[in-house]
Structures are given as structure tokens and as C-alpha cells.
């Protein structure tokens, strides 16, 4: 189990470590290459693997009026790091004063609080005041030390015509409804976490397909409106499901909602926390002329989703 620390000052000081640095939003396959390289170096020198990352996004600290949608909240980031089997992580909560440190001041803080034997980052990693620190600063600072500095080139993917993988590209794909391609770049399926809240109960009372309404953290990016094949994780079990994101044009809702019909499940999930994992977008939202037409389409959506059983 990964140990997590809130600051460098309380991280293990006598534990030789290979450090991976980055914000790692979504921990996509490019980020995973950085961490895998740290694990390779750690095996060579019998050291621990440490990931140093941040939450929330530094830009939201420096520019509070700017809203940045992320590929996961704090809990999602921690779980993804645990899945990568790193030894310990430092999840920093950035402040304005911390983000205004010079690159050398940040590296001194790193050097003071960790027994470094290696540092790994992506080639585009920046840090310090106005993002002025680069890999060049790291190499210069530690040039006379026996610390292996490794820089991982940016990763491309055929799923995006050979372009470079980035969290920005993945966000764009999700906003276009291209969850299958987004998942290829992530190396895992995109998911939302949230609490089940009361809805209008049309599924229960009108269509005969009761749904749960998910209320998410406002920081999480919600995929494009439409109908998706999804999975719901709850009570240590995974259920196939169909999810509608949008305003339900047949009923002319004013607010966007995330409504999920969970197959092979009966029970009250109100106020429970669940995770919703996106597999494929089936279609966009449609305004039906009657409830009967809507019900027939829901049945077709469920038939399509059943292929994933």
C-alpha cells in the first residue's frame, strides 16, 4: 500500500528514493512511462519510488477565477497512483508563496527533505515561479551529485494520428464524446466519482427504467452530452449500466444531469458514493415525440450495452 504524505518536510528522509515529478492529471500512458522509468531506476539501485505531485491545479491557485476541469479529483489521483504500485507519494497543496519560489529554491527543498538517488520527469515538465524551471535546471543543480536524472520524451499515439498524448488532448476527446479514444490514451477507462442525489423520478414513474442521479465534484470534466455504456462500482461490485448526460430534451429539463440505469440491481443508493466508468458513447441526446418512442430507444440502448457483459 502506498504511503502518502502532505508535504516534503514529513516525507521519509533516510529512505533512498527515485522521484517522479509532475501534476499527472489523469495519469495517462505518457505519465505512466515517467513512473515506470523511476521504478526501473529504483530496482537498479535498491531504492524506493516516490511520486511528487500537486492538488489542486496550480493555475487555480494563482488565478482563482479561472476554472480548470480535471481528469480526476484528489481521490482518483491517489487511487491511480496506488494502482501503479509506487512506494510513497507526496501530494502537495500548492500555495501562492510556494508557486512563486524560484526553481533553485524548489530544488533545494527537494534536496533537503529527501535522500535522492534519481529524478525522473517528462521532457516538458516545468516548475517554480512562472513555470521558469525546466529539466535543464534540474540537471544543472545536481550536476556534481551521484543522482541519475532521466527525462522521458513525450509519447505519441496512433489513436490521435500520431500526435503527442497530453491531458489537454484527452479532455478535448471527452468533450467530443470520444471516450474510447480517450481511454486508449489514458491507459484506463475514464470515470467520475460522486454522490447519488434525488432526481425527478421519471425513470421510476414514467419509463419503468429507474435511474440514479450522480452529483459530481465541480472540478471533474463531464463528457459530452449523450448516452453511454458505463459501469457502476458500488459495494465492491461492478454493474453494467447505461448513462444519459444532458438535459433530457423530451422533457425539456433546464439543468444538465447524469442519470444512470444500473442493470441487474435493485436498491436505494441515495446519498451513497459511487464511481461511474465510461466505456463507449452510443448516441447523442434525442427529443422524442412520445414517451413510448423514448422507452423503445432505451430498450435498444440496453441491448447495445449488453454486448459488454
Distance of CA 2 to the CA centre of its chain: 18
Rounded to an integer, what distance in angstroms lies between the CA atom of residue 294 and that of residue 309? 23
Whether 259 sits among the annotated catalytic residues: the reply is yes
Contact 249, 243 (CB under 8 A): no
CA atoms within 13 A on the CB side of 159: 18
Cis peptide bond prior to 261, omega within 30° of 0? no
Q: With b meaning 16 or more CB within 10 Å and e meaning fewer, what string describes 89-98?
A: bbbbebeeeb
Rounded to an integer, what distance in angstroms lies between the CA atom of residue 68 and that of residue 65? 10
Rg, C-alpha atoms of the chain: 22
Rounded to an integer, what distance in angstroms lies between the CA atom of residue 71 and that of residue 122? 18
Angle (nearest 5°) at CA 16 between 14 and 18:
140
Contact 211, 199 (CB under 8 A): yes
Q: Which one is catalytic: 259, 271, 293, 303?
A: 259
In the chain, how many H helices and how many E strands?
10, 14
Q: Other C-beta atoms within 10 Å of 2: how many?
A: 17
Rounded to an integer, what distance in angstroms lies between the CA atom of residue 59 and that of residue 67? 9
* Neighbouring-strand partners of residue 213: 197, 259
Q: Name 166's Cβ contacts closer than 8 Å, sequence gap at least 6.
A: 28, 30, 154
The H-assigned helical ranges of 93-252 are 96-99, 103-113, 135-141, 167-175, 179-186, 202
Q: Which residues carry out catalysis?
A: 259
Amino acid at each position: 500500500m502506498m504511503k502518502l504524505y502532505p508535504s516534503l518536510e514529513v516525507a521519509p528522509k533516510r529512505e533512498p528514493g527515485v522521484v517522479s515529478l509532475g501534476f499527472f492529471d489523469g495519469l495517462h500512458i505518457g505519465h505512466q512511462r515517467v513512473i515506470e522509468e523511476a521504478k526501473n531506476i529504483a530496482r537498479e539501485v535498491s531504492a524506493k519510488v516516490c511520486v511528487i505531485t500537486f492538488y489542486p491545479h496550480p493555475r487555480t491557485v494563482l488565478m482563482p477565477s479561472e476554472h480548470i476541469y480535471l481528469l480526476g479529483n484528489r481521490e482518483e489521483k491517489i487511487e491511480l497512483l496506488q494502482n501503479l504500485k509506487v512506494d510513497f507519494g507526496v501530494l502537495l497543496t500548492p500555495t501562492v508563496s510556494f508557486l512563486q519560489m524560484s526553481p533553485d529554491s524548489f530544488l533545494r527543498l527537494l534536496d533537503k527533505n529527501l535522500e535522492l538517488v534519481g529524478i525522473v520527469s517528462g521532457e516538458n515538465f516545468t516548475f517554480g515561479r512562472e513555470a521558469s524551471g525546466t529539466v535543464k535546471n534540474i540537471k544543472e543543480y545536481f550536476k556534481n551529485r551521484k543522482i541519475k536524472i532521466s527525462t522521458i520524451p513525450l509519447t505519441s499515439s496512433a489513436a490521435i494520428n500520431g500526435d503527442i498524448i497530453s491531458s489537454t488532448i484527452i479532455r478535448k476527446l471527452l468533450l467530443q464524446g470520444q471516450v474510447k479514444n480517450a481511454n486508449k490514451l489514458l491507459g484506463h477507462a475514464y470515470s467520475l466519482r460522486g454522490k447519488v442525489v434525488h432526481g425527478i423520478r421519471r425513470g421510476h414513474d414514467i419509463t419503468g427504467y429507474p435511474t440514479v442521479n450522480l452529483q459530481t465534484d465541480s472540478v471533474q470534466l463531464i463528457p459530452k452530452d449523450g448516452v453511454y455504456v458505463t459501469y457502476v462500482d458500488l459495494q465492491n461490485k461492478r454493474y453494467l449500466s447505461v448513462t444519459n448526460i444532458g438535459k433530457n430534451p423530451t422533457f425539456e429539463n433546464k439543468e444538465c444531469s447524469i442519470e444512470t440505469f444500473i442493470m441487474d440491481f435493485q436498491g436505494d443508493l441515495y446519498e451513497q458514493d459511487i464511481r461511474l466508468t465510461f466505456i463507449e458513447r452510443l448516441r447523442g441526446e434525442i427529443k422524442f415525440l412520445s414517451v413510448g418512442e423514448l422507452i423503445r430507444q432505451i430498450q435498444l440502448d440496453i441491448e447495445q450495452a449488453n454486448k459488454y457483459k
